[in-house]
A and B are shown apart, each in its own frame.
Chain A
Amino acid sequence: DAGVIQSPRHEVTEMGQEVTLRCKPISGHDYLFWYRQTMMRGLELLIYFNNNVPIDDSGMPEDRFSAKMPNASFSTLKIQPSEPRDSAVYFCASRGQGSNQPQHFGDGTRLSIL
């Protein structure tokens, strides 16, 4: 079975540029989560969707961050404009119905903003 697929795996760009991270969840999963991982702050939940609808975006750090899920098989996380402090590993995870179900993680996008 295909797991959660994220692209790109690595992104290096200059400050001020727009960055778009992509995620394809596991087919049939109703929930999609975006996380950010840094050494200083650990694993932070940014936003999650249920049936393509954003439910909780309280973890989104600033208005520069936005996320969409236009359909059940695709989501994007956009940063515009990017800043060096946005450098981190960004993970997407998906999950089936029921909070006893585990989240399945992609391999992440390592983002470096110069």
Chain B
Amino acid sequence: AQSVTQLGSHVSVSEGALVLLRCNYSSSVPPYLFWYVQYPNKGLQLLLKYTSAATLVKGINGFEAEFKKSETSFHLTKPSAHMSDAAEYFCAVSDLAGAQKLVFGQGTRLTINP
């Protein structure tokens, strides 16, 4: 069965600093991987997805993630944090074997310090 681990339930960075949110997955087959962002009182919004094409995936709002099969990781990064990036971020995995469900990590709350 697939699973997702997000390291760090809370990450705090200064405005302008690098953002790094960690996600490790386990899957019996090559996965599809997703990062979602959730702003207060809103639903989850897709940031980016990996679907077995390029291993470096660019998403919205300047975020990107790199799929590393050897490390079973899909970490999310942004070179320079902005105050508007403060939100909760979720990593999710789906597999190619036909399961239609997404398995979500527990989420990482990102705080941006001025």
Residues on A lying within 8 angstroms of B by beta carbon are: 4, 31, 33, 42-43, 45, 48, 50, 55-56, 91, 93, 99-100, 102-108, 110
Contacts and interface: CB of A to CB of B under 8 A. Distances in A.
A33 B99 CA distance: 13
Contact of A102 (B49, B96, B101): B49
Contacts of A104: 46
Interface residues of B, number: 23
A99 B99 contact: yes
Contact of B43 (A42, A91, A99, A100): A91
A69 to B, nearest CB: 15
B101 A56 contact: yes
A42 B98 contact: no
Interface of B: 32, 34, 36, 41-46, 49, 51, 90, 94-96, 98-102, 104, 106-107
B101 A100 contact: no
A106 B100 contact: no
B104 A43 contact: yes
Main secondary structure of the interface of A (DSSP, over half): strand
A103 B102 contact: yes
B100 A48 contact: yes
Contacts of A31: 100
A104 B45 CA distance: 7
Given A99-B32, A99-B99, A107 B41 contact: yes
A105 B45 contact: yes
Contact of B107 (A42, A91, A93, A106): A42
A43 to B, nearest CB: 5
A31 to B, nearest CB: 6
Given A43-B90, A99-B95, A102-B34, A55 B43 contact: no
Contacts of A4: 43
A42 B90 CA distance: 10
Contacts of B94: 99-100
B99 A100 contact: no
